[in-house]
Amino acid sequence: MPGDYPAWIGDWQFMERGRRVELNGASDRIRWLEHTARKNNGGDLYSARLDTHAALTLARNVFDYQESADGRVIAAANQAFSGAQNRIVIVDEQRATARWVADGAYRFQTIPGTTDLLVHLVGGDDEVDVVRVPLPLP
């Protein structure tokens, strides 16, 4: 699919076929969606340390992700298709843990000045429900 590319830093090929490469706020890790040749452009969310190249799989079937103000990663995961399995999680790379934020959710938006999200829930018959959800504490 056009737009899915390999990527290198020097002679280190960190990405085979992906997109959305981003540097974290501390500039010591990169994150990206791998294997994104899917209808919704989702893929598996990876993170790697720039100094050691040690990589982590953060979440599967991710449609969107964003770094939170405290450095954790918010991800719309389990998005292979629209349904109740869709969820929003928050991942702490330092502790290698993921915590639930919302089930049946396919999109999120941070609310400036808060630690809350606006979460778009999966609905039927073109319904769109939006709820405000607090992020769990680290």
For strands 87-92 and 97-103, give the pairing: antiparallel
Give the pLDDT confidence of 79-117 residue by residue, as tens digits. Answer: 988 888 999 999 999 999 999 999 999 899 999 999 999
Give how many domains the chain has, as a whole number: 1
Q: Tell me the pLDDT band of 132, cut-offs 50, 70 and 90.
A: very high
* Per-residue pLDDT at 54 exceeds 50: yes
CATH number at residue 104: 2.130.10.10
φ, ψ for residue 69, nearest 5 deg: -60, -30
Q: Tell me the pLDDT band of 30, cut-offs 50, 70 and 90.
A: very high
Q: What is the pTM of this model?
A: 0.90
Boundaries of domain holding 73: 5-134
Listed in sequence order, the residues at least 6 apart from 17 whose beta carbon sits closer than 8 Å to its beta carbon are 4, 5, 6, 34, 35, 36, 37
Alpha helices in 34-132 (DSSP H): none
